[in-house]
Structure 1
Amino acid sequence: MRIKEIFKEYSLLTILFKVFNRFKQKMQMYILKYFLLKYGFKISLKNFSPLLTFFYGSESKEKVKNFYDENPQIQKEVIKSADAVLMHQFYLLGSNLVTLSKKIPWNKDFKSNFVWENIFYKDIVLVDLNNSADVKIPWEVSRFQHFFCLGKAYWITGDAKYFTEMKFQTSDWIDSNPYCFSVNWTCAMDVGIRAVNWIHAYFHFEEPINQDKKFKDKFNQSLYQHGQFIFRNLENGEKLKNNHYLSNLVGLIYLGLYFCAFKENKEHEKWLCFSMKELEKEMFIQNHIDGSNYETSTSYHRLVTELFFFAMLLTEKNKINFTESFRMRLELMHEFLMNITKTNGTSPLIGDVDDGRLLIISDYYGWKKNALNNTLGLAGLYFKRKDFSQYGSAYKEECLWISGLVNYDQDRTLTNGKSISYPDGGLYFLKNKAIYCAIRCGALSLRGKGGHSHNDQLAIELNILGEDFFIDPGVDVYTADYKSRNKFRSTKMHNTVSIDGDEQNDFDEKSLFQMKEQSFAKCLKFNETEFEGEHYGFYKKNGVIHNRKINIKEGVFVLQDEIKGGVGIINFVLCPDVELYFISERIVFLRKNFVELQVHLLNGSYIVIKEDLISLSYGRPLKTKKIEINIKNRNKISFSFQYLS
């Protein structure tokens, strides 16, 4: 943030307070470094056993075993996945299936072969935009989300090899990542997610862990270190927090409850008390009254929903409750996820996407990154909502492991539902029986900061009869390739109008999570069949205002763009498996499975077909085609879609 912007946003007293706090934190870090190097970490957790009430335990085993016996295909996939984990095979952030060495390289990005040296975490350089290293790779594998696979297979088969692998990986990670001296001790968010997954693993392998006193002590001591690290390194430095801070808080809630019976040290009591209070507060700061999230990313909305939901479910099992208002807002967050789900079970990936999850309970190797409805089955049981259960009916394992019940709703037929708007979240959805059109129109994320936002104002996604035709391009990578990062968040990559290469909202090419609010998009009209909106991102650059009108009818989708004061290009990025038949400069036929669309320009302009890229998950760009509609000597253009099933 530039000096002028700092003084504009904060008072002098606030700035001085922040500077003092920063200095204080640095001094504390140097003292911590000195003591860790000289004395190491000393806290005795011998013979400690957690007493919290968890989602599953020995009393659940018969029910779990019966479920998998009654669902042999799911059982087969669970064991197949667990055996792949035994072989250290992973898909990690866009990679092909990679087999890591017997001793997993915990501090290495295997894509670029870059290794982060084990030094004090505050001295580690995480990002160098001049190389292609991606720190998210070691962070991702060190979240241990693959442990749920091992735990499920252990309960199904009783085979000790799954515990042996869990013990080996955990011990090796602890030895290879000394407390505060590794790249995997640099991001409190990942420390929190790792703690949550280790605690779930404890309750999968409770019996053999309790029989192995030496490993149990080592495991518990590391978990306590996780809590201490998070509490000392809370990601709350900015005025407006995000999913990182929520992950800190949820990690502390899990750890506070896990260590609630530990009497030798009282730090964990502070963790629980603080994180409960803060999570309650953040629910209403980060999530709007309409249920949308202020990071304006549908993928991150799924992550924060998981964070709030699992934390609430665990605390309630232990007789600690959030407020009724918290619960009601969480229900609205699930309504949002339901309402953005298409009839094919996927959702548009608006804004940034890094495939972030808290827990991956089912289909570890094959889960769809653009299917955001994985908590809806569980939410259906909790909130007693049949519509949630229907939209989440495919996710039976989530219900089994977290609630002890199974969502047996057999009706998996999804419908588009009615048109709905989320003005606080800047998303509008025009729907009828056949058409699903998502429209982005609203403020940038974090109330104008633009952290996870893209230049996608008035961009659309179009799905006809369950088939995706025009889609959001998603995200390739973040810091591993800043040029690709900027390409995927640029105006010309989205299904909207670009003008003279200008951006709707300017950003510095190396400030990868900042974007200056200039578009100030607003919805002018919205009802069951119509949308009208405009943005002002080009106005100060070239005097242009972009206005877009959309109308859906039976069998026809009409879109009209008005470029007030200039000329430009309308972009439409195609789903990769859409077949394209170019007929003339004014007519194009698109076909996907049994659905056919005719794109017909009704006035002016002409169509050009170009090659482009999309990424349906982090780090996995795919080739596709893009339709560009060039405006010729006119400021207005209309075209319609007709479909035949």
Structure 2
Amino acid sequence: MKSKIYRIAHKIIPQKYKNNITLLLYRIRGIKIKRQIKYAENYDLKFSDIENICGFDHVLPDKYLIFDKEYSLNDLPLFCEKNKFSSGDIKDFREFSRLYFLLSLALCNRTKLIKEIFSARLKTDIFLWENAMETAIRAVNLSVTFQLIKNKLSAKEQKTWMYRLFSCGIYIRNNLEKMPGNSNNHYLFDLLGLIWLGVNFKNNEIADEWTDFAVKEFEKEINLQFYQDGFSYEGSTNYLFEEIEIFLLAEIALMSSDRNFSFSFKEKFKKIRKTAFAFTFSDGSHANIGDTDSGKILWLDWNEPKNNLTPLFTLLKACYPDDDIPGFKPDENSGLFRLFSFGLKKTAYIENDRSLFFPDINAFIRKKQNNSLIFWGGAVKNEPLFAEHKHSDINQILLELDGSQIFTDSGSFRYNPVFSVRRSFVEEEAHNTVKFAESQRDFKDAFHKKNRKIKFEYLEKSNDKIKTKVCFKNVIWTREIINDNFNNISIIDEVDQPGNIYFILHPDIKIERVSDNVLIFKSKNNNYKFKSEEKILILYHEISYEYGKKIGTRKLICNLNKKNKCFIARV
């Protein structure tokens, strides 16, 4: 006979997932939870309070209300078929485990159903304890839900919820996803969970340590994981918007504590937001560059595509009114904004009880705007959708993508959601200047599709001595290297392969292609006579998580391949 949870899973899980139910059930048993419960017992949160809990007897209702709008069960992400993501982004079960839906049910005043689901989770642990990031997202949703329904819970039930939340904090603190060198977005999620829970349980010695630790780590990570222009080293726009939500919620949370981020942190966060806005279209969507993950921390707008940024940007615009979001019109009816701005006021049963933390976005907004809530009025008609940034070295950029052409005025560079100079810097050594203008990492998906090509014209002056014009077509990576040591160089060729970039600095030789770590060179005009053994200076760039640190030049001795009439070098 099948178990109850197995029968329920067959009821509510779409047909295309049913073959994976056994694997799913194996993953959601939650092996790690027993160890974490044992940890939690040391902090006066006894498991005896919750040992007699009923099983999972109900599924989610067929109909429920969110902000006076009716949605069916199919609108939940677990059952939603309408949002077609790439194969790497189908994570329905994981997202179900993040408990987004509990927050929606709380705002619908479905406390009884929440209590039944929550109680069943303590018995069967039907949601994943996969890693610290997942636990942090779940903890934020649990804590907000708890604050919304707290006054409808008994004293024993309140203690049970607090026990579970505290257990989440212990789990995160003991399983931080810190990596050698640069960490990634997982670690930022971990830190947000610690801040959120630390403020929840403020004045507790252990929880205060979580908050202090997370604030210090955030100050470090924002400089380790983000370049000076505000783009993440992971090279993903999806991660960039996730990280903006992380920083925003962390800053809001600290409003309810005596801690705060430094001025330098806030200035860097401002740069990050400015860069992110450049990748955004007026309808709230954004260029999908890099990893296609589109996770969220708080998700209330089920009827919107998951990659729609309107709810997040509406909240950002309220908190940071000076931010310029070209072509964007805030939506005051978005669930995320209503939750923080006045969703609490509509939930009368929690108005007089703030014994546990819940962020007051109105106080945050008033502090930012001198007691006035001002929204940006939206886009001016025919307003360009892309932010402009001065870049004196660039004369003109023509971007041709799916038939659309975008030009910039002379002397300015306009970010485009699909093509962006991610990082530019100058290194000076004596009289040598090497300048790198780097395009966005992971452009393969953008430019390998049919009918997509890029033309990049770049007129550069270096000490008024060298004028270099570089034109590339149908390439993924675009780089410009200028060095006074090579005054005779007018054209610089490049070629890419996964993980590496190669440049040859020679006026008469071009790189034909790379195959199995073999560089193949040819004469540009068929006039150059290859020697049987020749030294060619190649700039070799290795793409890694420590982006930009492994750049160097070396001389390679190449052997003539007479059969193919070309020059090759093994690297």
Q: Tell me the TM-score normalised to structure 2 length.
A: 0.55
Aligned with 2:147 (options 203, 212, 217): 203
Identify the residue that residue 401 of structure 1 maps to in structure 2.
Answer: 339
In the alignment, the residues of structure 1 paired with residue 211 and residue 445 of structure 2 have an alpha-carbon distance, to the nearest angstrom, of 40
How many angstroms does 1:221 deviate by?
A: 0.8
Aligned with 1:438 (options 418, 430, 444): 418
1:215/1:541 CA distance change after superposition, 3 Å: closer
Could you tell me whether the CA contact under 8 Å between 2:277 and 2:326 is conserved in 1?
Answer: no
1:567/1:283 CA distance change after superposition, 3 Å: closer
Identify the residue that residue 232 of structure 1 maps to in structure 2.
Answer: 174
In the alignment, the residues of structure 1 paired with residue 501 and residue 193 of structure 2 have an alpha-carbon distance, to the nearest angstrom, of 48
- Aligned-residue Cα RMSD (Å) equals 4.7
How many angstroms does 1:169 deviate by?
A: 2.0
In the alignment, the residues of structure 1 paired with residue 137 and residue 92 of structure 2 have an alpha-carbon distance, to the nearest angstrom, of 15
In the alignment, the residues of structure 2 paired with residue 540 and residue 88 of structure 1 have an alpha-carbon distance, to the nearest angstrom, of 41
How many angstroms does 1:340 deviate by?
A: 1.9
Q: Is 2:365 aligned against 1:379?
A: no
1:35/1:248 CA distance change after superposition, 3 Å: closer
Could you tell me whether the CA contact under 8 Å between 1:260 and 1:269 is conserved in 2?
Answer: yes
- SS of the equivalent of 1:438 reads coil
Q: AA paired with 1:139?
A: R
Cα deviation, 1:484-525, whole Å, max 9, x if unaligned, reads xxxxxxxxxxx9848xxxxx8xxxxxxxxxxxxxx6x52469
In the alignment, the residues of structure 2 paired with residue 439 and residue 301 of structure 1 have an alpha-carbon distance, to the nearest angstrom, of 15
In the alignment, the residues of structure 1 paired with residue 79 and residue 127 of structure 2 have an alpha-carbon distance, to the nearest angstrom, of 18
How many angstroms does 1:261 deviate by?
A: 4.1
Identify the residue that residue 3 of structure 2 maps to in structure 1.
Answer: none
Aligned with 1:188 (options 98, 117, 132): 132
How many angstroms does 1:96 deviate by?
A: 5.1
Could you tell me whether the CA contact under 8 Å between 1:377 and 1:393 is conserved in 2?
Answer: yes
Q: Is 2:60 aligned against 1:78?
A: no
- SS of the equivalent of 1:256 reads helix
Could you tell me whether the CA contact under 8 Å between 1:188 and 1:229 is conserved in 2?
Answer: yes
How many angstroms does 1:77 deviate by?
A: 5.9
- SS of the equivalent of 1:148 reads helix
Identify the residue that residue 391 of structure 1 maps to in structure 2.
Answer: 328
Identify the residue that residue 114 of structure 2 maps to in structure 1.
Answer: 166
In the alignment, the residues of structure 2 paired with residue 318 and residue 542 of structure 1 have an alpha-carbon distance, to the nearest angstrom, of 47
Identify the residue that residue 604 of structure 1 maps to in structure 2.
Answer: none
In the alignment, the residues of structure 1 paired with residue 132 and residue 157 of structure 2 have an alpha-carbon distance, to the nearest angstrom, of 24
Cα deviation, 1:456-507, whole Å, max 9, x if unaligned, reads 2994999xxxxxx9699xxxxxxxxxxxxxxxxxxxxxx9848xxxxx8xxx
In the alignment, the residues of structure 1 paired with residue 183 and residue 79 of structure 2 have an alpha-carbon distance, to the nearest angstrom, of 24
Q: AA paired with 2:147?
A: F
Q: Is 2:149 aligned against 1:149?
A: no
In the alignment, the residues of structure 1 paired with residue 388 and residue 37 of structure 2 have an alpha-carbon distance, to the nearest angstrom, of 60
In the alignment, the residues of structure 1 paired with residue 106 and residue 398 of structure 2 have an alpha-carbon distance, to the nearest angstrom, of 40
Identify the residue that residue 628 of structure 1 maps to in structure 2.
Answer: none
Identify the residue that residue 296 of structure 1 maps to in structure 2.
Answer: 235
Could you tell me whether the CA contact under 8 Å between 2:185 and 2:243 is conserved in 1?
Answer: yes
Identify the residue that residue 366 of structure 1 maps to in structure 2.
Answer: 304
- SS of the equivalent of 1:317 reads coil
In the alignment, the residues of structure 2 paired with residue 223 and residue 536 of structure 1 have an alpha-carbon distance, to the nearest angstrom, of 52
Identify the residue that residue 95 of structure 2 maps to in structure 1.
Answer: 140
In the alignment, the residues of structure 2 paired with residue 412 and residue 80 of structure 1 have an alpha-carbon distance, to the nearest angstrom, of 28
Gaps of 5+ in 2: 1-31, 47-63, 341-360, 366-372, 392-396, 400-405, 424-439, 455-471, 483-490, 515-571
Could you tell me whether the CA contact under 8 Å between 1:148 and 1:200 is conserved in 2?
Answer: yes
In the alignment, the residues of structure 2 paired with residue 539 and residue 135 of structure 1 have an alpha-carbon distance, to the nearest angstrom, of 25
In the alignment, the residues of structure 2 paired with residue 239 and residue 184 of structure 1 have an alpha-carbon distance, to the nearest angstrom, of 28
Cα deviation, 1:409-433, whole Å, max 9, x if unaligned, reads 44345532454489xxxxx996459
Q: Is 2:44 aligned against 1:44?
A: yes
Higher relative contact order (CA 8 A, sep 6+): 1
Identify the residue that residue 252 of structure 1 maps to in structure 2.
Answer: 194
Q: Tell me the TM-score normalised to structure 1 length.
A: 0.49
In the alignment, the residues of structure 2 paired with residue 305 and residue 440 of structure 1 have an alpha-carbon distance, to the nearest angstrom, of 18
Q: Is 2:378 aligned against 1:411?
A: yes
How many angstroms does 1:163 deviate by?
A: 1.2
Q: Is 2:154 aligned against 1:223?
A: no
1:204/1:420 CA distance change after superposition, 3 Å: same
Identify the residue that residue 268 of structure 1 maps to in structure 2.
Answer: 207
Cα deviation, 1:54-93, whole Å, max 9, x if unaligned, reads xxxxxxxxxxxxxxxxxxxxx9763446x54xx5862249
How many angstroms does 1:342 deviate by?
A: 2.5
Q: AA paired with 1:229?
A: Y
Could you tell me whether the CA contact under 8 Å between 1:429 and 1:438 is conserved in 2?
Answer: no
In the alignment, the residues of structure 2 paired with residue 301 and residue 253 of structure 1 have an alpha-carbon distance, to the nearest angstrom, of 20
Q: AA paired with 1:393?
A: P
In the alignment, the residues of structure 2 paired with residue 539 and residue 188 of structure 1 have an alpha-carbon distance, to the nearest angstrom, of 30
How many angstroms does 1:272 deviate by?
A: 1.3
Matches within 5 A, 1:474-553: 497=474, 521-523=478-480, 535-538=494-497
- SS of the equivalent of 2:419 reads strand
Identify the residue that residue 456 of structure 1 maps to in structure 2.
Answer: 444
Identity over the aligned pairs, expressed in percent?
Answer: 22
- SS of the equivalent of 2:287 reads coil
Cα deviation, 1:158-201, whole Å, max 9, x if unaligned, reads xxxx1112222222222222xxxx87222110000100111111
1:374/1:290 CA distance change after superposition, 3 Å: farther
When Rg is computed on C-alpha atoms for both structures, the one with the higher figure is 2
In the alignment, the residues of structure 1 paired with residue 39 and residue 387 of structure 2 have an alpha-carbon distance, to the nearest angstrom, of 63
In the alignment, the residues of structure 1 paired with residue 304 and residue 499 of structure 2 have an alpha-carbon distance, to the nearest angstrom, of 46
In the alignment, the residues of structure 1 paired with residue 500 and residue 267 of structure 2 have an alpha-carbon distance, to the nearest angstrom, of 43
Q: AA paired with 1:456?
A: K
In the alignment, the residues of structure 1 paired with residue 499 and residue 207 of structure 2 have an alpha-carbon distance, to the nearest angstrom, of 53
Q: AA paired with 2:495?
A: Y
Could you tell me whether the CA contact under 8 Å between 2:494 and 2:511 is conserved in 1?
Answer: no
In the alignment, the residues of structure 2 paired with residue 440 and residue 45 of structure 1 have an alpha-carbon distance, to the nearest angstrom, of 51
Identify the residue that residue 213 of structure 1 maps to in structure 2.
Answer: 155
Q: Is 2:317 aligned against 1:328?
A: no
Could you tell me whether the CA contact under 8 Å between 2:199 and 2:256 is conserved in 1?
Answer: no
- SS of the equivalent of 2:302 reads coil
1:340/1:214 CA distance change after superposition, 3 Å: same
Identify the residue that residue 124 of structure 2 maps to in structure 1.
Answer: 176
- SS of the equivalent of 1:293 reads coil
How many angstroms does 1:40 deviate by?
A: 8.7
- SS of the equivalent of 2:164 reads helix
How many angstroms does 1:281 deviate by?
A: 1.1
In the alignment, the residues of structure 1 paired with residue 145 and residue 499 of structure 2 have an alpha-carbon distance, to the nearest angstrom, of 55
Could you tell me whether the CA contact under 8 Å between 1:303 and 1:356 is conserved in 2?
Answer: yes
1:386/1:538 CA distance change after superposition, 3 Å: closer
Matches within 5 A, 1:300-319: 300-319=239-258
1:267/1:523 CA distance change after superposition, 3 Å: same
Could you tell me whether the CA contact under 8 Å between 1:390 and 1:409 is conserved in 2?
Answer: no
In the alignment, the residues of structure 2 paired with residue 541 and residue 306 of structure 1 have an alpha-carbon distance, to the nearest angstrom, of 32
